[in-house]
Structure 1
Amino acid sequence: MRLFSALLLGVLLSLPALAAEELHWKDLVPPEARDLLGMPQPVHDLSLLADALEDSEYGDPAVQSMPNAPVVAELDGRKIRLPGYVVPLGINERSEVDEFLLVPYFGACIHVPPPPSNQIVHVRSRQGIALADLYQPFWITGTMQVEAIESELANAGYRIEQAEVEAYSF
């Protein structure tokens, strides 16, 4: 019985090490750079884009303001869990999105200015996401790599390969 108890205790103590660390988007920005972030406000009303082009202190709302924003090197190799929205980059043979940019707010990189690169994660997922589900947020779990990735839509400061995807629940 003692051997069983010792084994059970060992398994229970190792579970937190296997669990992913839940991150928030601010955790992807080095503390000393948080004041520099200066992320433009999302423009969700497309009729306002012309006004935004003329009036914005950030310039063209379709252009990423900080494509090489500072990243948190200590996140490299850590298993993390991060909520966000999907911006599709690749669709598999089943018409599911399996490569995408994970962003902190809906419409980033498509309808509104891309956030700084340290607020974008390039993801390749284990399972695809149905096109009809792209309007909802997701939890993405996997091993974070600190690596600059360029795409047609925006640069990302991080990447996750073989990510697990699950619908975000409130």
Structure 2
Amino acid sequence: MVNRRTTLMLLSGSLIAPRVALAATAREITWDDLLPPGVPYAEIIGEGEMDEANDTWAPIFDENATKLNEELDGAYIKMPGYIIPFDMGSDGVSNFMLVPYVGACIHTPPPPANQLVLVSASEPWPRDKLWDAVWVTGTLNTHLQDTSLGQTGYSISRAKMELYEW
């Protein structure tokens, strides 16, 4: 026999279950997804110039470099990348630029704006894991911003982070 308490518990569980099922699942994206539809990466970088003094290649970006994939504005996403810190505390880094490859913006010219994501993490990422690839999950916003390391086209606030496992 089912008593009143059991009935109430079963009903409350059935009311909660649909909400759990509707919880947002992050859409996994790649760096190519940040490009506007129909614009291949090859059309973003022009010829460029060799910086003889620093022995680096300085790409010349065309107008496609600042075109963003507006379909991703407000999307809850998960994407891999590498950390280039803006500031670091004793507990790690909270504000950084997410880049598609190791050393981007430090040892090489920065990628185009539509290949850079400004991130504010919900919790600091440990200092001893700065060179590891990471997954960043959060709501992606599209807007151009100038930073000390280059112009970014995207941002994620209160991002959740985890180690990217191959």
Using the size of structure 1 for normalisation, the TM-score is 0.76
Letter in 1 for 2:145: I
Is 1:53 aligned to 2:17, yes or no? no
Matched residue, 1:24: 30
1:39/1:115 contact within 8 Å kept: no
- Structure with more of its chain in strand, by fraction: 2
Instruction: State the distance in 2 between where 1:150 and 1:102 align.
Output: 14
2:45/2:62 contact within 8 Å kept: no
Shift in alpha-carbon separation, 1:64–1:81, aligned structure 2, 3 A: farther
Counterparts of 1:1-170 in structure 2 under 5 Å?
Answer: 7=15, 10-11=18-19, 13-15=21-23, 18-34=24-40, 35-38=42-45, 52-54=50-52, 61=57, 65=61, 68-92=65-89, 94-170=90-166
Shift in alpha-carbon separation, 1:100–1:66, aligned structure 2, 3 A: farther
Shift in alpha-carbon separation, 1:130–1:124, aligned structure 2, 3 A: same
Query: Which aligned runs of 4 or more in structure 1 are off by greater than 6 angstroms?
Result: none
Instruction: State the distance in 2 between where 1:39 and 1:100 align.
Output: 27
1:64/1:116 contact within 8 Å kept: no
Q: Helix, strand or coil for the counterpart of 1:71?
A: coil
Instruction: State the distance in 2 between where 1:103 and 1:109 align.
Output: 8
Shift in alpha-carbon separation, 1:153–1:66, aligned structure 2, 3 A: farther
Runs of 5+ unmatched residues, structure 2: 1-6
Offset, 1:8: 7.1
**Higher RCO structure, 1 or 2 (CA under 8 Å, sep 6+):** 1
Shift in alpha-carbon separation, 1:127–1:63, aligned structure 2, 3 A: farther
Q: What is the identity percentage for the equivalent residue pairs of Structure 1 and Structure 2?
A: 34
